[in-house]
C-alpha cells in the first residue's frame, strides 16, 4: 500500500529560520504550524510571490499535495551557515492513508517522524511505497537534488526520514532524485538505472533461512497441488486440447493390428505415388519446355526465362507446379546474362526429383515398422526383389543369390550404420551413391572397368566370395586366424591378426562371411572415415581412444620381426614414429586420435605402415619407385 506525505514550508518562515542558529521542533509544534482549514482547497500567494498550488481533497480532514500541483521554482542559492549549524524550520505533515491516526498520535507523543532542516525552504513531495513488505522513499522536487536516508528503527519509531539538500541546477519536478541510499545494505541506486527494477531487485534479495524456505515450499506445493486436482476435469486444460501425436506400435502377436498398419501404409504410399509424374507426363513436359524456350536463341543450348518458366508451370498442370517454384529457378541459375536457366538442367532436375520420390516410396514399402529406416532383413528383401530387374545380374545362379544379397547389404550397413544398430535410415540411403551404383546394373552395355570397380556388380561379388572360399583351407565355411593371415599379399602382421580376432565378432575363434565382408570393406577403403574407425579400434590396444608411443611400437615391432625373417635390416622405431607424427600433426603431440587421422588426410598411409609389411616397404621405397616410373614422388609428408 502506498502513502503520500507532503512537506510544505512556506516562504513566510524564511526570516524566522535565518534568525535562529539551531532550533528543534517537536512533532506537536510542527503540527501547530500547519495551514488553517480555510487555506485548504484554495490557491494563495506567498509573500515572495510564489503560488501555493490547489490541493486535492481526501477524507475531509487532510490535504495531499501531489507532484502535478507544484509549480517550478526558480533556482535557489545556498546560504552560508558560518559554522553555526543547520537552521530548522517549521513543517507540516499531511496524509490520507489509513495510518494517519497512528501517525498523528506518534507526532503528538514525540515518537514520530522527524525532518532535518533544509538549507532552503522548498516544497517536496515524499512518495512512500511498499514492495514485498519493504518500504522505499522517493523524493520529487523542483530545484534541488536530494539524498534520502531511509531506515527501519526499533518499534518505537515506525519510520524515520532524514533529508540533506545540496545546491543543483533546476530540473523538472517529476524527475526522481539522483541517488537513493538505503541504509540496510548501503546500496546506491544511480539515476541511469531503472528505478522500479532496482527497488524490486533489492526487495527480493532478502535472505530466507532454510526452515522458512521449506515451509514456503510445502505451502506452495499444497496450494498448487489442490488447484491442479480441482482443474483435472476442466476441458480447457491443455492436455485435453492437444491432439494425440504418439501411437504405440502394435505388438508382433497382434496380427490384426499389424495387417491394418501395413495396409494403411500401402494405401498412403500408393496415393503419394500417383501424385508423381509418370513417363508419359515427363515426355509431355519436355515438349512444353522445348516449345517455350526463350530468345535470344542459341545453337548450343536452349534457355528459358522466368516468364516462360511460369507459363510452362501453368500448362503442365498441378503435378508440375511443385517443380516450378521461384526457389528452383534461382538454384538453376548458371550465370546467363539474361537471367535464364538451361532447359536441359531444368528437365534433369525434375527427373531427378521424380526418381528420388519414387525410390523413397519404393524403399518405404519395405519399412515394415514404419519408422523411416530399414533393418538388415528389410534391405535383404529389397535387394532380393530388385535382382530380376537388373540385367547385369542375369548371369548369377539362384544358389548364389543369398550370398550376393549378403555382399550388397553389408556395404550399406558398414558405411551407413557406424554404431552397428542393425538398421539404416532411408534418408541416408537416398543421400549416398550406393543406390546409384546398384541401379547402374540396369545398363545392359555397362563397361568391364566399371563392373570391376562397382561393389554391387556380379564380377565383384564373385571375386570377394571366391577369395573367401580360397582362404577357407579346412572348408568348414569359417576362417580362423591362420587362414585370414593369407588375405591379400599375405603380409599382414601377426599382431594385427590377433587384434582383429579380439575386436571382431567371431564364433569359437573363427570368422563368418559377414564379418569377413566388413574386414574386406575396411581394407579396400582405408581412406574412408568408416574404415579408419574400424581399423583404429583394432590399433587402440588399451582402448584409451588414442594411439600413443606404446601402441605404435607394439605394431611396428611385428613389422621389424617380418623384416628380419625376410633378411632385411629393420628400421629404427624412433625414425618411423617421428615420420608418423609429422604426417598426422595431431592436436596433442603426445598421442594420435581418430579425428587426427581423419583430418590429416593420410590416415590410410599411417595404418598401412603399421599393419602390412608390403605396405610399409612400398612407403619406405616410394621415392625409388617414383623414379623408376618417371613420376614425381608423392607428397606423403
Q: Residue 582: give its domain's CATH number.
A: 1.10.238.10
Residue 245 above 50 pLDDT?
A: yes
Q: Which residues have CB under 8 Å from 149's CB, separation 6+?
A: 161, 162, 163, 164, 181, 183
Q: What's the pLDDT score for residue 207?
A: 66
pLDDT band (50, 70, 90) for residue 240: low
Residue 112 above 70 pLDDT?
A: no
Instruction: Pick from 154-158, 235-239, 401-405 the range whose average pLDDT is largest.
Output: 401-405
In this structure, are 139 and 10 located in the same domain? yes
For residues 285 and 276, give the distance between their C-alpha atoms in angstroms, rounded to a whole number.
13
| Residue 133 burial by Cβ neighbours in a 10 Å radius (0-12, 13-18, 19+) | exposed
- Residue environment code for 316-346, b if the CB has 16+ CB neighbours within 10 A, otherwise e: beeebeebbeeebbeebeeeeeeebbbbeeb
Residue 168 above 50 pLDDT?
A: no
Residue 523 above 70 pLDDT?
A: yes
In this structure, are 199 and 281 located in the same domain? no
Looking at the chain, the whole-number percentage of residues with pLDDT higher than 70 is 64
Cell triple for 420: 552397428
Instruction: Pick from 27-31, 43-47, 550-554 the range whose average pLDDT is largest.
Output: 550-554
Residue 44's closest CA among 53, 57, 33? Answer: 53
Residue 632 lies in a domain: yes
Q: Read off the pLDDT of each residue in 73-84 and give the average, rounded to a whole number.
A: 41
Q: What's the pLDDT score for residue 195?
A: 55
For residues 122 and 70, give the distance between their C-alpha atoms in angstroms, rounded to a whole number.
10
pLDDT band (50, 70, 90) for residue 534: very high
Residue 400 lies in a domain: no
Residue 433's closest CA among 418, 411, 407? Answer: 411
Residue 347's closest CA among 317, 315, 303? Answer: 303
Cell triple for 118: 533544509
pLDDT band (50, 70, 90) for residue 161: very low
Beta strand 123-131 with 134-140 is: antiparallel
| Domain boundary pick from 335, 364, 393 | 364
pTM recorded for the entire structure: 0.60
Q: Read off the pLDDT of each residue in 37-47 and give the average, rounded to a whole number.
A: 39
Q: What's the pLDDT score for residue 210?
A: 83
H helix or E strand, kind and range, residue 164 = strand 160-166
Give Cα 171 to chain centroid, integer Å: 49
Residue 452 lies in a domain: no
pLDDT band (50, 70, 90) for residue 26: very low
In this structure, are 30 and 142 located in the same domain? yes
Residue 80 lies in a domain: yes
Do you know the residue count of the chain? 637
Residue 565 above 80 pLDDT?
A: yes
Q: Read off the pLDDT of each residue in 118-129 and give the average, rounded to a whole number.
A: 38
For residues 409 and 400, give the distance between their C-alpha atoms in angstroms, rounded to a whole number.
14
In this structure, are 32 and 180 located in the same domain? yes
| Domain boundary pick from 364, 379, 401 | 364
In this structure, are 150 and 281 located in the same domain? no
Q: Which residues have CB under 8 Å from 601's CB, separation 6+?
A: none
Domain count, the chain: 3
In this structure, are 183 and 275 located in the same domain? no
In this structure, are 502 and 617 located in the same domain? yes
Residue 381 lies in a domain: no
Q: What's the pLDDT score for residue 236?
A: 61
For residues 496 and 613, give the distance between their C-alpha atoms in angstroms, rounded to a whole number.
11
Q: Read off the pLDDT of each residue in 341-359 and give the average, rounded to a whole number.
A: 94
What is the average pLDDT score of the chain?
Answer: 74
| Domain boundary pick from 332, 364, 396 | 364
Residue 235 above 90 pLDDT?
A: no
In this structure, are 165 and 307 located in the same domain? no
In this structure, are 64 and 144 located in the same domain? yes
Residue 150 lies in a domain: yes
pLDDT band (50, 70, 90) for residue 213: confident
For residues 123 and 65, the answer to whether their CB atoms sit within 8 Å is yes
More confident residue, 82 or 218: 218
Looking at the chain, the whole-number percentage of residues with pLDDT higher than 90 is 50
Q: What's the pLDDT score for residue 249?
A: 84
Q: Read off the pLDDT of each residue in 207-232 and give the average, rounded to a whole number.
A: 82
Q: What's the pLDDT score for residue 194?
A: 54
In this structure, are 199 and 260 located in the same domain? no
Residue 238 above 70 pLDDT?
A: no
In this structure, are 104 and 172 located in the same domain? yes
**pLDDT tens digits along 1-16:** 433 333 333 333 333 3
Residue 159 above 50 pLDDT?
A: no
Lowest mean pLDDT among 204-218, 352-366, 415-429: 204-218
Cell triple for 122: 522548498
Q: Read off the pLDDT of each residue in 112-123 and give the average, rounded to a whole number.
A: 35
Residue 473 lies in a domain: no
Residue 472 lies in a domain: no
The domain in which residue 518 lies consists of 488-637
In this structure, are 310 and 196 located in the same domain? no
Q: What's the pLDDT score for residue 486?
A: 94
Q: Read off the pLDDT of each residue in 426-433 and give the average, rounded to a whole number.
A: 94
Q: Which residues have CB under 8 Å from 483's CB, separation 6+?
A: 471, 472, 473, 474
**Alpha-helical segments (H) within 172-248:** 195-203, 210-230, 238-241
Q: What's the pLDDT score for residue 179?
A: 39
Amino acid at each position: 500500500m502506498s502513502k503520500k506525505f507532503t512537506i510544505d514550508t512556506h516562504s513566510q518562515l524564511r526570516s524566522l529560520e535565518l534568525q535562529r542558529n539551531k532550533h528543534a521542533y517537536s512533532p506537536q509544534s510542527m503540527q501547530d504550524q500547519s495551514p488553517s482549514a480555510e487555506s485548504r482547497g484554495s490557491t494563495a500567494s506567498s509573500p515572495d510571490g510564489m503560488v501555493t498550488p490547489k490541493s486535492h481533497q481526501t477524507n475531509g480532514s487532510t490535504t495531499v499535495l501531489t507532484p502535478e500541483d507544484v509549480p517550478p521554482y526558480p533556482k535557489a542559492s545556498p546560504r552560508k551557515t558560518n559554522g553555526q549549524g543547520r537552521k530548522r524550520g517549521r513543517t507540516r505533515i499531511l496524509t490520507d492513508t489509513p495510518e494517519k491516526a497512528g501517525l498523528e498520535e506518534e507526532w503528538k507523543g514525540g515518537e514520530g517522524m522527524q525532518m532535518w532542516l533544509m538549507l532552503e525552504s522548498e516544497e517536496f513531495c515524499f512518495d512512500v511505497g511498499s514492495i514485498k513488505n519493504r518500504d522505499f522513499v522517493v523524493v520529487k522536487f523542483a530545484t534541488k537534488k536530494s539524498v534520502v536516508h531511509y531506515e527501519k528503527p526499533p518499534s518505537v519509531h515506525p519510520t524515520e526520514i532524514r533529508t540533506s539538500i545540496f545546491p543543483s541546477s533546476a530540473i523538472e519536478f517529476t524527475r526522481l532524485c539522483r541517488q537513493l541510499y538505503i541504509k540496510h545494505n548501503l546500496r546506491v541506486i544511480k539515476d541511469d538505472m531503472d528505478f522500479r527494477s532496482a527497488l524490486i531487485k533489492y526487495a527480493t534479495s532478502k535472505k530466507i533461512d532454510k526452515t522458512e524456505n521449506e515451509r514456503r515450499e510445502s505451502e506452495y506445493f499444497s496450494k498448487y497441488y489442490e488447484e491442479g486436482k480441482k482443474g483435472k476435469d476442466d476441458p480447457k486444460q491443455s492436455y485435453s486440447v492437444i491432439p494425440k501425436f504418439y501411437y504405440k506400435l502394435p505388438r508382433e502377436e497382434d496380427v490384426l493390428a499389424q495387417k491394418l498398419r501395413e495396409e494403411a501404409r500401402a494405401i498412403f504410399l500408393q496415393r503419394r505415388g500417383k501424385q508423381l509424374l509418370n513417363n508419359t507426363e515427363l515426355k509431355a513436359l519436355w515438349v512444353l519446355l522445348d516449345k517455350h524456350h526463350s530468345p535470344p536463341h542459341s545453337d548450343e543450348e536452349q534457355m528459358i526465362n522466368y516468364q516462360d518458366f511460369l507459363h510452362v508451370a501453368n500448362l503442365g498442370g498441378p503435378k508440375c507446379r511443385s517443380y516450378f517454384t521461384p526457389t528452383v529457378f534461382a538454384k538453376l541459375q548458371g550465370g546467363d546474362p539474361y537471367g535464364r536457366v538451361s532447359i536441359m538442367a531444368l528437365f534433369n532436375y525434375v527427373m531427378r526429383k521424380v526418381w528420388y520420390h519414387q525410390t523413397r516410396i519404393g524403399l518405404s514399402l519395405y519399412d515394415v515398422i514404419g519408422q523411416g529406416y530399414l533393418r538388415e532383413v528389410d534391405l535383404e528383401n529389397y535387394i532380393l526383389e530388385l535382382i530380376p530387374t537388373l540385367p547385369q545380374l542375369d548371369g548369377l545362379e539362384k544358389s548364389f543369390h543369398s550370398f550376393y544379397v549378403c555382399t550388397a547389404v553389408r556395404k550399406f550397413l558398414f558405411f551407413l550404420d557406424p554404431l552397428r544398430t542393425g538398421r539404416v535410415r532411408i534418408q541416408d540411403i537416398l543421400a549416398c551413391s550406393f543406390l546409384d551404383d546398384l541401379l547402374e546394373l540396369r545398363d545392359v552395355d555397362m563397361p568391364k572397368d566399371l563392373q570391376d570397380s562397382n561393389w554391387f556388380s556380379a564380377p565383384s561379388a564373385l571375386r570377394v566370395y571366391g577369395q573367401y572360399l580360397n582362404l577357407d583351407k579346412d572348408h568348414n565355411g569359417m576362417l580362423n586366424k591362420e587362414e585370414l593371415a593369407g588375405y591379400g599379399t599375405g603380409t599382414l602382421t601377426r599382431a594385427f591378426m590377433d587384434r582383429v580376432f579380439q575386436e571382431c565378432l567371431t564364433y569359437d575363434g573363427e570368422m563368418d562371411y559377414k564379418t569377413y565382408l566388413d574386414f574386406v570393406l575396411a581394407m579396400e577403403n582405408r581412406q574412408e572415415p568408416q574404415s579408419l574407425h574400424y581399423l583404429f579400434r583394432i590399433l587402440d590396444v588399451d582402448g584409451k581412444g588414442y594411439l600413443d608411443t606404446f601402441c605404435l611400437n607394439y605394431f611396428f615391432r611385428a613389422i621389424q620381426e617380418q623384416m628380419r625373417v625376410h633378411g632385411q635390416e629393420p628400421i629404427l622405431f624412433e625414425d618411423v614414429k617421428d615420420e608418423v607424427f609429422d604426417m598426422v600433426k595431431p592436436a596433442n603431440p603426445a598421442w594420435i586420435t581418430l579425428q587426427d587421422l581423419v583430418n590429416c588426410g593420410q590416415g590410410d598411409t599411417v595404418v598401412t605402415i603399421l599393419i602390412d609389411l608390403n605396405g610399409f616397404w612400398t612407403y619406405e621405397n616410394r621415392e625409388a619407385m617414383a623414379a623408376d616410373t618417371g613420376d614425381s614422388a608423392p607428397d606423403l609428408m
